[in-house]
Amino acid sequence: MAEHGKEYHEQLQEAVRNKLVLTEEQKETMKNPISHHEIERALKLSENNKAASIDRLTYELWKQLLKDEYHKIKTQVIQETPKVLEILKVLFNDIEEYGTNNGSNLAEGWLCLIYKKGD
């Protein structure tokens, strides 16, 4: 069953691997460091109630941290870029520039196949 799932997902990825081509403008945009705005937009567009990653951190956690910081800014407790955005920006740009540490398992995921009656 696990081998069947692996093959299925490999075929899905292979089907689009060579069909996705960036325009010159997109290539230039990709050279820029990731911005606070891009991270905030990605968080806002991410769906809730999705499975957490291996580190068990959910989108809801990151969204709530951002919401809490914006509340502090609104009530003038702090007057700066939300730290959660700064932390994620530094992290993503560091990975882009230097890659991941060997053994960090950052790109690992976990897939659980669920048997459905009739499959």
Q: For the chain, how far is it from start to end, CA to CA, in angstroms? A: 11
Q: What are phi and psi of 96, to 5 degrees?
A: -60, -40
Q: What is the pLDDT of residues 22-81, one digit of tens each?
A: 999 999 999 999 999 999 999 999 999 987 777 788 889 999 998 888 888 888 876 677
d(CA 112, CA 89): 30
Domains: count for the chain: 1
Which residues constitute the domain of residue 63? 2-98
Write out pLDDT tens, residues 94-108: 999 999 888 887 777
CA distance linking residue 111 with residue 72, whole number of Å: 38
Is the residue at 52 inside a domain?
yes
Kindly tell me if the per-residue pLDDT of 82 is higher than 90: no
Q: Which residues contact 59 (CB under 8 A, 6 or more apart)?
A: 43, 46, 47, 48, 50
- How far, CA to CA in Å, does 93 sit from each of 26, 39, 86, 87, 112? 17, 11, 11, 10, 31
Residue 12 lies in a domain: yes
Contact 89, 96 (CB under 8 A): no
